[in-house]
Amino acid sequence: MQTLYIIPGACAFGSMVALEWLHKPYQIGLTTPEIRKTPEFLAINPLGKVGALKDGDTLVYENLAILMYLVDKNPDSEIAIPVNSTSRIEAYKWLSYFSSTLHVAFSPLFYPERFVSENMIDDFKQKMLIRLRDVLAYVDSYLGKNKYFVGSKLSIVDAQGYGILRWSERAGLLNDYQNIANFIARMNEIPAVKNAQNIEIQKTDNLVNSSFVGYHKF
């Protein structure tokens, strides 16, 4: 059994969509701060973070690694990305950008107290907002010219990009980036994305053609 550990609304969303696209049975482990500190969870990801995947005896953490693991384990699936292809280079590039730049551009705005002391928070957030806007402008400009992140078809990269770009709304910035807003609207219509959204919020009665089999019991 494959079990993907998540926090609803967080960055493992792309891997949920990938599992939906694979049509193989999988469970979701809904984690809390308490669960992420348990020996059971730390044995899966010693960093105490999501995404984390347990697939039989194989343990994978870091979203980029999970996504590429799923792609490589399923070379004949619709999410396959051929090795030594331009698509593969683009996938590495964007997944790396999402992890190293996009994801971390949001964190200081959402959790400023992790970075600076109370009296510096307002100034810090102003500066971090400028940085985030630069990053979003770059992605928005790309999406203005390209429907998909990789080539001419939907891929795990769109799923992962969606999972993080949706935070633009929470940051109150979505209206300023029309191409990102259009991308998010398009992704919202995809059945696998709808299924993953519902699984995140434990609304599993009306999943369509899903291979989700239930929640992992901790």
Ligand X SMILES: N[C@@H](CCC(=O)N[C@@H](CS)C(=O)NCC(=O)O)C(=O)O
In whole angstroms, how far apart are CA 141 and each of 138, 154, 177, 179? Answer: 5, 18, 9, 7
Range in contact with ligand X (rule: CB under 6 A) among 7-15, 132-140, 177-185, 201-209: 7-15
Residue with Cβ nearer ligand X (100 or 141): 100
- The answer to whether 27 contacts ligand X (rule: CB under 6 A) is no
Residue with Cβ nearer ligand X (36 or 54): 36
- The answer to whether 166 contacts ligand X (rule: CB under 6 A) is no
The CB-of-12 to ligand X minimum distance in angstroms stands at: 7
Residue with Cβ nearer ligand X (33 or 56): 33
Residue count (the chain):
218
User: How is the chain split among helix, strand and coil, in percent rounded to 5?
Assistant: 55, 10, 35
Angle made by CA atoms 100, 97, 64, in degrees to the nearest 5: 75
- The answer to whether 10 contacts ligand X (rule: CB under 6 A) is yes
Q: Which member of 18, 49, 94, 102 binds ligand X (CB under 6 A)?
A: 49
Range in contact with ligand X (rule: CB under 6 A) among 43-51, 70-78, 136-144, 199-207: 43-51
Burial class (CB in 10 A: 0-12, 13-18, 19+), 202: exposed
Q: What letter would DSSP give residue 46?
A: T
Which positions from 73 through 102 interact with ligand X, judged by CB under 6 A?
A: 99
Site residues (vs ligand X, CB under 6 A): 7, 10-11, 33, 36, 49-51, 62-63, 99
